[in-house]
Structure 1
């Protein structure tokens, strides 16, 4: 039973670890999107200030060009992280299923052990089992 308890603790740890990974990736995606939105606002302000919205125009602000590039990189990074998020969610779901399976085995074994002790006490009513 002790090895089964250790296995359950290990599986719980793995589930917690995978859940934390999913949460971290979700937070990163949210941060990247927020930064991209902030850059969008800065780009719009800079374009309005300069009076030029055409990126290829010679008078287009250098800051706006750099901000557009950073924003695009953030959007691409968020897209890449979305794929990693799907994979992390799948691993998390698999770990949860594995934990449920091990917990069900433990419950079944515990039920089997309880029924054996009940049967033993019925067969030998004068004897009591000592808990160890």
Structure 2
């Protein structure tokens, strides 16, 4: 049978893992947004060079078409990751609240700076 300290450690480890996943997810979202910005700038340059801004025009630059498709795919991925982020944030809050319920800090711990 596991001791209370082992259970608490396991829950804290689980919470730490969820927080790490959340931070990694946020980094991925930021990176995807940066990629979208860069691609949109490249698309604008290609359109300016060719003088064709209509995506349906038969001479629209192939690179711009490909980059536009990549932007669309990244935007879909960003939306999905944002939904996943919301779900993960709620899971982190639940895990944190369970830890707080099961392991309330003692007044002496707070005075001594433990847990801060």
Give the TM-score of the pair, scaled to structure 1.
Answer: 0.76
Equivalence map 1:49-128=2 (5 Å):
49-104=49-104
Distance in structure 2 (CA, Å) of the matches to 1:82 and 1:53: 31
- Alignment deviations for residues 21-63 of structure 1 (CA, whole Å, 9 cap, x no partner): 1111111111111101100000000000111000001110000
Looking at CA atoms only, which structure, 1 or 2, has the larger radius of gyration?
Answer: 1
Runs of 4+ in 1 over 6 A off after TM superposition: none
| Contiguous gaps of at least 5 residues in structure 1 | 108-132
> Counterpart of 1:77 in 2: which secondary structure?
helix
| Contiguous gaps of at least 5 residues in structure 2 | 107-116
**RMSD over aligned Cα, in angstroms?**
1.3
- Alignment deviations for residues 44-100 of structure 1 (CA, whole Å, 9 cap, x no partner): 000001110000011100000000000010011000100000000000000100111
Equivalence map 1:22-61=2 (5 Å):
22-61=22-61
**1:102 CA displacement:** 1.4
